[in-house]
Amino acid sequence: MKISYNWLKDYCKYDLSVEELAESLTNAGLVVDTVNPVEDDFCLEVEVTSNRPDCLGFIGVAREVAAIVRGKLDIPDVSYDDTNGGNINDITGVTIEDNELCQRYTARIIKDVKIGPSPEWLQRKISSVGLRPVNNIVDITNYVLMESGQPLHAFDSDKLSDGKIIVRRAKKGETMEAIDGSKCTLSDEMLVIADSQKPVAIAGIMGGKETEVSDATRNILLESAFFDPRSVRRTSRKLGLMSDSSYRFERRVDPECVDWASRRAAKMILEIAGGQAAEGVIDQNYLEDNKVSVTLKMSRLDGLLGLQVEKDTAKEILEHLQFRISAETKDGFSVDVPSFRGDVYREIDLIEEVARIHGYDKIPVKSSIGVKLTQDNQFDKITEKTKNVISGLGFNEVITDSIVGDSQNRHGTIWSETGSLKILNPIRQDEDLLRKALVHNLLRVKKHNQNYGVEKTDIYELSKVYLPKGDDQLPEEKECLCILGEEGYLALKGVIEAILCHLNIADSLESVHFDFGLFSSDKSAELRLGDSVLGFIGELSREVISDYDFRSKPCVAELDFDILIDKTNLESSYRKIPSFPVVTRDFAVVSDEAVTWADIKGCIESLKIDYVDDIEFFDVYRGKQIEKGRKSIAFRIIFRADDKTLKSEEVDILQEKILVNLNNSLGVNLRA
């Protein structure tokens, strides 16, 4: 809200430079965002938090200043002469049909006013806070709004059919043209001010054009009310119509200020625009009168702040904020809370009042919190290890949006067939789903990079996917690891194997062919660890590549990270470095196409030869020297004994045993 440096002095004669004022307000919780010079004045843009609607007027801000400088608050006199205008009940009437949405409505009548431009001082004041002068009546209602925070509206009472006010819900489809020219179509949850025929204002938001004060206006009906904050907010959002009034009603106005502001405006109208005020006021008040009283214990305050505050200081601060001390004990006192401080109803709230005016800067930066045993976080440890391995292998981590469009289902689903969780109020209608896999987002990242000329995109993401579990249940949030690599299928599989190795996972990785829409028919597998499905790996299919217009042939793996966590063994122990040398033997064998590497390796391992230390794959060869339908596989076996140097003859025997077994079980021969 905008505050004028000079105008504010009407309510508290403070002796602060504009910089000092801005700093003091900020330190008390009213952040001054900007200070702009306006002629011989300054306009301060003050940020008022949602719990402090009382500061949406000059008097409220002045109250804060008075408490800060321990000065006096000057509240203008609002008495005026209402003896010459007849009795108000003879002139108009107010009916409230919905007293939940309108809890208080006051009307005053001022007759025979003279409409014209406001006096210069008034124009200058409202201009200093960014309002445009219109005419004396409108300017006065704006002035009082700024002064008190209570919105007012002046109707040309001669334009009200039957001259009476009805506060009711709008009828569905009813229309009204607002003062700013917008044509509003209303619905039945909106509250309107109406005459006997039609709506003349949208309650708390904006008046209607038809009944606005014009040069020809002579008689004024002055409205000051309390409208339900929630209702005003909803109507305002729904109509896309916001005003200084709606801003304040939404945040709740001071119930007791409703009448004060009306008097204040009536008095000013009489002084500036002349005329006679009708006697009295119509005041329909359904607000409950709940006086709040709170007790503060100084020991509690000191303990919570970690700072000793004198009781007199606390009292002084609260009294300046217009709390009334009602009782006092040795260690504390009780206060009555003023009506405009709906945010204060507990001891803790009083502690905050004292703390913020006393100054947070006075609270010492000190502590004796000491040390404490912390918990071991397995998830973090494993995550960090995994990311270190993948990053070390040259992959960059990406973070993509959890909210996705329907394209995530285009090439088949991974983790769940159930429809994705849907956001009811998305920002973009085409992005309203919670992702069920990461892979599609990584493809989009690849695409984005390719568009900007980055051809090689080795990337990964470790994040959640959301698998629905039922309409009223929270979804399963599965932690997934998705890796996109540009170096081919086996290179990507190597990355996964490296992770398994670093996480010390005992189960060996199994790849089982799996038809999957995203992947090419031959390079597409389900990965298993023991009995668990770890995830999927594959080379993108031709359709996907052309769909994304990729210039390379990326491979992707998506893994269930929870399985990795489950299988990880963080407790590893040292293994003795072998003392005796190894004997290596290289093999080139010829087999049918149907025989896999896993078959060959498994066959060798099945012999359970203690001296076989490792079996290393070299390559597969198909070509001229090999007959059709067969292939040559080259590998090395490393033999080693823990307790002696193996002799060549011993290894020869083992080698022979292996070859015989390969031949018998798989029809594999040594290549000629």
Partner 1 sequence: MQERLNEIQNQAKGDLAKAESLEEVETIKTRYLGRKGGVITEIIKAIPGLSPEQRSSTGKSANILKNEIGKWIEEKKDGFDTSAKASLTLPSFDLSLPGEHKPYGRKHPLTQTIDEIKGIFKKLCFDIEYGPEVEHEYYNFDALNIPADHPSREDFDTFYLGNKRLLRSQTSTVQIRVMEKTKPPIRMIAPGKVFRPDTVDARHASMFHQIEGLMVDEGVSFSDLKYVLTLFAKSYFGQDIKMRFRPSFFPFTEPSAEIDISCSLCKGKGCSVCSQSGWVEVLGAGMVDPNVFDTVGYDSKKYTGFAFGMGVERLTMLKYGIDNIRLFFENDLRFLSQF
Nearest to partner 1 of 232, 595 (CB atom): 232
* Residue list 471-510, contact with partner 1 (CB under 8 A): 471-472, 474-475, 477
Residue with smaller CB distance to partner 1, 391 or 669: 391
320-349 residues in contact with partner 1 (CB under 8 A) are 346, 348-349
Q: How far is the CB of 459 from partner 1 (least distance, A)?
A: 7
Q: Which residue has the tokens 């149907």?
A: 594
Dist. CA 268–CA 142, nearest whole Å: 12
> Residue 635: beta bridge partners?
587, 617
Minimum distance of partner 1 from residue 363's CB (angstroms): 5
Question: How far apart, in whole angstroms, are the C-alpha atoms of residue 96 and residue 584?
Answer: 98
To partner 1, the closest distance from the beta carbon of 649 in angstroms equals 43
One residue of 50, 83, 572, 573 binding partner 1 per CB under 8 A: 50
Dist CA 657 CA 609 (whole Å): 10
Q: Which is nearer to partner 1, 119 or 306 (CB)?
A: 306
Q: Which is nearer to partner 1, 51 or 655 (CB)?
A: 51
Query: CA-CA distance, 373 to 369, in Å (whole number)?
Result: 12
Q: In the bound complex, what is the minimum distance in angstroms from residue 16's beta carbon to partner 1?
A: 17
Strand 459-467, strand 396-397: pairing = parallel
Span near partner 1 by CB under 8 A; candidates 164-172, 318-326, 365-373, 513-521: 365-373
* 147 or 352: CB nearest partner 1: 352
Segment 418 to 457, residues that bind partner 1, using CB under 8 A: 421-427, 434, 445, 448-449, 452, 454, 457
Q: Which is nearer to partner 1, 57 or 207 (CB)?
A: 57
Write the DSSP symbol of residue 178. B
User: Which residues from 106-145 bind partner 1, rule CB under 8 A?
Assistant: none
Residues 551-570 that bind partner 1 (CB under 8 A): none
Q: Nearer Cβ to partner 1, position 12 or 355?
A: 355
Task: Give CA–CA dist 459/225, Å, rounded.
Answer: 60
C-alpha–C-alpha distance, residues 22 and 6, integer Å: 13
Please classify residue 517 by burial: count the beta carbons closer than 10 Å to its beta carbon, then call 0-12 exposed, 13-18 middle and 19+ buried: middle
Which lies closer to partner 1 via its Cβ, residue 89 or residue 391?
391
Shortest reach from residue 173's CB to partner 1, in Å = 23
Inter-axis angle of helices 58-69 and 311-320, nearest 10: 160
Please, what is the minimum distance in Å from the beta carbon of residue 203 to partner 1?
Answer: 17
Does position 629 interact with partner 1 (CB under 8 A)? The reply is no
Q: Could you give the CA distance from residue 129 to residue 7 in angstroms, rounded to a whole number? A: 10
Q: Which is nearer to partner 1, 365 or 512 (CB)?
A: 365
Q: Is 600 strand, coil or helix?
A: helix
Among 173, 181, 240, 364, the residue binding partner 1 under the rule CB under 8 A is: 364
- Looking at the Cβ atoms of 403 and 646, the one nearer to partner 1 is 403
Instruction: State the nearest-atom distance from the C-beta of 130 to partner 1, in Å.
Output: 18
Q: Which is nearer to partner 1, 229 or 494 (CB)?
A: 229
Which residues share a beta bridge with 202? Answer: 192, 206
Query: According to the binding rule CB under 8 A, does residue 577 interact with partner 1?
Result: no
Structure-block tokens of residue 537:
């790996």
CB of 262 to partner 1, least distance (A): 26
> Is 292 one of the binding residues for partner 1 (CB under 8 A)?
no
CB 458 within 8 A of CB 395: yes
Token pair for residue 223?
């409205």
β-partners of residue 337 are 292
- Compose the 235-254 pattern: x for residues touching partner 1 by CB under 8 A, - for all others: --x------------x----
- Tell the smallest beta-carbon distance from residue 369 to partner 1 (Å): 6
Q: What is the closest distance, in whole angstroms, from the C-beta atom of residue 323 to partner 1 in the complex?
A: 16
Q: Which of 121, 215, 330, 375 binds partner 1 (CB under 8 A)?
A: 375
In whole angstroms, how far apart are CA 658 and each of 116, 205, 661? Answer: 111, 90, 5
Residue-wise burial string across 447-469, b where 16 or more C-beta atoms lie within 10 A, e elsewhere: eebbeeeeeebbbbbbbbbbbbe
Looking up tokens 């995550």 gives 383
Residues 6+ apart with CB under 8 A from 577: none
Tokens 């206060």 locate to 335
**Residues in 14-33 at the binding interface with partner 1, rule: CB under 8 A:** 26-29, 31, 33
CA angle 582, 586, 589 (to 5 degrees): 145
**In whole angstroms, how close is the CB of 400 to partner 1 at the nearest point?**
6
For partner 1, which stretch binds (CB under 8 A), given 66-74, 240-248, 276-284, 360-368?
A: 360-368
Report the residue number, 9 or 456, with the smaller CB distance to partner 1: 456
Our finding on whether 307 is near partner 1 (CB under 8 A) is yes
Nearest in space to 334 (alpha carbons), one of 343, 344, 348, 324: 324
Smallest distance from the beta carbon of 82 to partner 1, in angstroms?
A: 37
Give the position of tokens 């269930």.
560
Q: How far is the CB of 231 from partner 1 (least distance, A)?
A: 10
Footprint of partner 1 on 196-235 (CB under 8 A): 229-230, 233
Span from 198-206, 297-305, 632-640, 647-655 in contact with partner 1 (CB under 8 A): 297-305
Q: Evaluate whether 524 touches 539 at the Cβ level (below 8 Å).
A: yes
Question: Which of 205, 355, 496, 556 contacts partner 1 by CB under 8 A?
Answer: 355
Cβ nearer to partner 1, comparing 363 with 506: 363
Helices vs strands, H then E, count in the chain: 19, 31
Q: Is 272:119 a contact under the CB 8 Å cutoff?
A: yes
**Chain-centre distance of CA 338, in angstroms?**
34
Its sign, for the CA torsion 156, 159, 163, 168, is negative
Q: Is 185 helix (H, G, I), strand (E, B) or coil?
A: strand
CA distance 169 to 235: 11
Q: Which of 361, 549, 627, 643 is in the footprint of partner 1 by CB under 8 A? A: 361
Hey, which residues between 377 and 406 contact partner 1 (CB under 8 A)?
A: 377, 379-380, 384, 387, 390-403
51: contact with partner 1 by CB under 8 A: yes
Q: For the CA atoms of the chain, what is the radius of gyration?
A: 40
Nearer to partner 1, 200 or 355 (CB): 355
Other beta carbons within 10 angstroms of residue 602's beta carbon come to: 12
Q: Residue 34 or residue 606: which is nearer to partner 1 going by CB? A: 34
